Structure formats: structure tokens, C-alpha cells
Amino acid sequence: MSRIALFPGSFDPITIGHVDVIIRSLDLFDKIIIGVGHNTSKNYMFPLQDRMQWIKDSFADFHQVEVQSYSGLTVEFCKKAHARFILRGLRTSADFEFERAIAQMNHYMERGIETVFILSSPQYAPVSSTIVRDIIRNGGNAGPFVADGVRLK
């Protein structure tokens, strides 16, 4: 059975922190599906199409990495995609507390799906999509913090 992981998130936009987690996880899995959330109740800065295209462009050379959009429960999408693992990154203890609750609830719902955490590389720990969006909104240069494929005007 192949080891498929889902890396779910908003990726609004994808950052160098996300890229680091994905690249460091490649040895663990046969395939990593980057699941780009689209939730009608969330206000994204960038449209789903851009968020997905930027990820595709960033990972064009990685045959193990796939990009798909999804809405609804992450565990339901995992079942559809035959993913037995959920991949998440941890930057801080605040991330840990947030992620712990989600992972434990997901495990209550689906015993066969395990969440795997990768600790952020120290140099990427302060990087977040939220801060990147603030930099963009305020006219700063967010280029150094986003993935290669991201095209900001």
C-alpha cells in the first residue's frame, strides 16, 4: 500500500515555511497531496485558482507532489484520496496546542488516519501566511518569504 499524505491548509499564499515542511517530508511518503482549502466562510486574500497555480509552479519538478482543492472535513478528503496520513507543520507551542486538538479530533473520527508533524526549521519559524499578507497589504516586499512560484503584482 502506498504511503499518501495530505498536507492541508489555506496556503494564502504558500510560504517558504510550507515548502520546507513539504521538502523535508518527501522521504517519508510516496506521495504528498497539498490540499488547498476553500471554505465559503473564510475570507481569503488570493483566489483559489491563484493559490493552487502558485503551488503547482513551485513544485513542477517534484513528481511526488500533487495539488488538489477541497472543502469540508479533512478526514473525508483523506478517505477519498486514499491518504492515511495528514501532514502538518509546527512552529511554536501555540501551533502545538491548536494542532493537537485538531489531530486528536481527526483521530476520533478516523482511527486509520494518523497526523504527522514536522518541526519548522528555525529560520522559518517566524514565517506565516498571515504576516506575509500584512506585508503585502502594507506595500512591503514579501518576495523573500513566499515560494518560488508565487507571483505577486
Nearest to 81 by CA among 60, 99, 66, 64: 66
CB 136: neighbour CB atoms within 10 A?
18
Of 7-15, 24-32, 45-53, 131-139, the segment contacting ligand ADP by CB under 6 A is: 7-15
- Retrieve residue 74's grid coordinates: 479533512
Q: Which residue of 18, 75, 132, 142 would you call a contact of ligand ADP, by CB under 6 A?
A: 18
The distance of closest approach from Cβ of residue 30 to ligand ADP in the complex, given in angstroms and rounded to an integer, is: 20
80 is catalytic: no
120 is catalytic: no
Assess 129 for contact with ligand ADP (CB under 6 A).
Answer: yes
The distance of closest approach from Cβ of residue 80 to ligand ADP in the complex, given in angstroms and rounded to an integer, is: 19
Q: DSSP of 98-145, one letter per residue?
A: HHHHHHHHHHHH-TT-EEEEEEPPGGGTT--HHHHHHHHHTT---GGG
Assess 120 for contact with ligand ADP (CB under 6 A).
Answer: yes
Each residue 61-100 as x (binds ligand ADP by CB under 6 A) or -, in order, gives ---------------------------xx-x---x-----
Nearest to 56 by CA among 43, 71, 69, 72: 69
In this chain, which residue has its C-beta nearest to ligand ADP?
17
Give how far the C-alpha of residue 121 lies from the chain's centroid of Cα atoms, to the nearest Å. Answer: 15
